[in-house]
Structure 1
Amino acid sequence: MQILADRHLAKPEDPLTLLGARVHEAEGRGRIAFALFQAARTAGPIFWIALAHDQDRLLPEGLAERLHLVEARDETDLLWATEEALRSPAVALVIAEPARPLSLTVGRRLQLAAEAGRTTGLMLIHQGSGSQAAETRWNCEPIPGPEDSTRHRWTLIKNKKGTIGPYDVNWYGSAAAFHLVPPTGKRCQSEDPPR
């Protein structure tokens, strides 16, 4: 079981990797795509916790055997189920969709649960309703592109342990593979050395 715990705490290998044993937040119109992207990249069981009256459910191909959907009666049950799932060392990723803003107390409780279970949490929040206790906060928006484009701009707007900034991503929605796309007007190759 020690190998599993160490895997969850590994340092990020790319800028889109969520730090293990921490709770992160995603807001914006593309937050569901960001959550699915993180789920596709995560090995092991995934818990997705939402309010029962929220009828929009996704069951992405390739995740069906690892994805456990939990429907909570109200916000209190949603936060309780999220905390309990985060405390379990057998769970790799917990995604929750709270309807109300997260207080500092709630955010801190979730962080402590994630640390105890060495589990990664991702809260899908409404714009401006996150907790100061979150490790990172991402603003996720689809961006226009050519026909059949799957471009997203995922902007890291809060980061307790590093830099912030935007990442333009082409992600095809079914695998963990993606391409970072340079922002418009940015150079794709290195400059020639000075003469």
Structure 2
Amino acid sequence: MQILRDQLQAGSDESLHLLKGRVHDVEGRGRTGFALFHAARLAGPVFWIVLTHDRDRPMPGSLPDGIAERLYFIEAKDETDLRWTVEEALRARPVSLVIAAPEKPISLTAGRRLQLAAEAGDTTGLVLIHEGKGSNVAETRWKCDPLGSTRHRWIPNKNKQGTPGIYDVSWNGTTAAVHLVPQAGERHQPESPPR
């Protein structure tokens, strides 16, 4: 039976799952939405680590259902403090997701330390980066941009476990369910009813 892409939920699509025990990068104007989507679909505590002066963070009242009770915001005074805090949070159990928002690129050595910490804690890390400032050791690097109020385009530009692609998704920002939307020209005709 053919499954139509526009009816497929991301929960059954392995390509939208972030590999556990690894650190991933995400860039673009939709990076916060991408982070919230993954926070909604993972069970357990979520740590969001930002620099003290950074005001680009979601407000608790605007979070998808079930996240506010599990979300811990941590403010770091500088980049060194931020990296140390991210590393410690990645090692902690039973943390499910650690989201970090550094201003500067993460060096190869610092990126490797974060990967080792994620492996040790079996935790998923997501680093919200500025355009082109990702770490070479990231498991995946996503480019995320909104296409409207509920439509987004998520492109894995780097993927150590698979091939890059383009995912146009429709997500209302309130649940862990997302619908993949076919690219223009890729729409499938519904199957004929059985006779």
Same fold (TM over 0.5): yes
Separation in 1 of the partners of 2:172 and 2:139? 27
Structure 1 position 103 matched with structure 2 position 99: no
2:119 corresponds to which residue?
115
Structure 1 position 78 matched with structure 2 position 82: yes
Q: CA RMSD in A?
A: 1.6
Report how far residue 55 of structure 1 moved: 2.1
Separation in 2 of the partners of 1:186 and 1:61? 30
Report how far residue 155 of structure 1 moved: 0.2
1:31 corresponds to which residue?
31
2:145 corresponds to which residue?
141
Q: Which runs of 5+ in 1 are unaligned?
A: 1-11
Report how far residue 86 of structure 1 moved: 0.3
Q: Determine which of 57, 63, 69 is the counterpart of 1:65.
A: 69
Please give the TM-score of this superposition, normalised by the length of structure 2: 0.87
Separation in 1 of the partners of 2:71 and 2:122? 18
Q: Determine which of 77, 93, 96 is the counterpart of 1:92.
A: 96
Structure 1 position 176 matched with structure 2 position 176: yes
Please give the TM-score of this superposition, normalised by the length of structure 1: 0.87
- State the one-letter code of the partner of 2:77: R
Does the 8 A contact of 2:50 with 2:102 survive in 1?
Answer: yes
Q: Secondary structure at the match of 1:96?
A: strand
1:125 corresponds to which residue?
129
1:6 corresponds to which residue?
none
Report how far residue 43 of structure 1 moved: 0.2
Separation in 2 of the partners of 1:29 and 1:80? 26
Separation in 1 of the partners of 2:159 and 2:28? 17
Report how far residue 190 of structure 1 moved: 7.5
- State the one-letter code of the partner of 1:188: H
Percent of counterpart pairs with the same letter? 63
Separation in 2 of the partners of 1:115 and 1:57? 26
Separation in 1 of the partners of 2:39 and 2:161? 22
- State the one-letter code of the partner of 1:111: Q
2:161 corresponds to which residue?
161
Separation in 1 of the partners of 2:91 and 2:126? 14
Separation in 1 of the partners of 2:93 and 2:184? 42
Q: Which runs of 5+ in 2 are unaligned?
A: 1-11
Q: Secondary structure at the match of 1:15?
A: helix
- State the one-letter code of the partner of 1:26: V
- State the one-letter code of the partner of 1:73: K
Q: Secondary structure at the match of 2:38?
A: helix
Greater than 6 Å deviation, 4+ residue runs: none
Report how far residue 90 of structure 1 moved: 1.3
